[in-house]
Structures are given as structure tokens and as C-alpha cells.
């Protein structure tokens, strides 16, 4: 969830949009799989190895991270029509 202060500081031209991908940190075990295999390199690791959504605008909603996360900690909102999973 983007916090409001952050959203307000953004340029007025780009609508503040919630990134399609979100992480449930309390289930994440910092295995690094999503960080390694995201084809768009959306994530960086924090000091503890948990993913941070560093480049949300790059996310193509491919759902590779969601399907590869062994801990069901990643979810990706689909873009319009559901692609064949």
C-alpha cells in the first residue's frame, strides 16, 4: 500500500497507482526467489533479504513471482483479462 504522503509528493501528471504486485511480509521468508526470477527486476532486497518493490512501474503483471513464491507471500493483480496461467 502506498502511503498517502508519498502519493501526494508525486508529480500531478502521473496518477498515483497502487503497484499490481504486493508482498505479505509476515509470510515472506526472504528466500530471494522473487527478486532473482522477476523478468523485469521489479524487486530489490532489503537488509534482511526481503523484497522491496523498487520499480513498480516496470511490473508487467506476468505473475511469475506469484507462482514461484514458495510462501504464497506475493500476489499480482491481473491486468484486464485473465491470461492463461
Partner 1 sequence: MVAPEDGSGRTDVLSYLRVDRFPHLWCPGCGHGIVLGALVRAIMRLELDPRRVVVVSGIGCAARAAGYLNFDGVHTTHGRAIAFASGIKLARPELEVIVITGDGDLAAIGGNHFVHACRRNMGITVVCFNNSIYGMTSGQYSPMTPYHAMATTAPYGHIERPFDLCALAAGCGATYVARGAAYFPARLADYIAGGLRHKGFAFIEAVTQCPTYFGRRNKMPRGVDLLRWQKERAVPVERAARMTPEELEGKFTVGVFRDAEELEYTEEYDRIIALAGYREGGESGCPAPGR
Footprint of partner 1 on residues 66-85 (CB under 8 A)? 67-72, 75-78, 82, 85
Binding site partner of 38, from partner 1, ligand SF4, none, Cβ cut-off 5-8 A by kind = none
Distance CA 12, CA 16 (A): 8
Distance CA 70, CA 66 (A): 9
* Nearest residue (CB) to ligand SF4, 6 versus 44: 44
Residue 45: strand pairing partners: 51
- Diameter over CA atoms, the chain: 38
Footprint of ligand SF4 on residues 10-69 (CB under 6 A)? 23, 28-34, 51, 69
Asked if 33 is part of the footprint of partner 1 (rule: CB under 8 A), the reply reads yes
Amino acid at each position: 500500500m502506498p502511503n498517502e504522503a508519498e502519493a501526494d509528493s508525486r508529480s500531478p501528471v502521473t496518477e498515483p497507482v497502487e503497484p499490481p504486485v504486493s508482498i505479505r511480509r509476515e509470510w515472506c521468508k526472504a528466500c530471494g526467489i522473487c527478486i532473482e526470477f522477476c523478468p523485469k527486476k521489479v524487486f530489490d532486497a532489503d537488509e534482511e533479504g526481503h523484497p522491496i518493490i523498487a520499480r513498480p512501474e516496470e511490473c508487467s503483471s506476468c505473475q511469475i513471482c506469484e507462482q514461484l513464491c514458495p510462501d504464497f507471500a506475493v500476489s499480482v493483480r491481473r491486468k484486464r483479462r485473465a491470461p492463461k496461467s
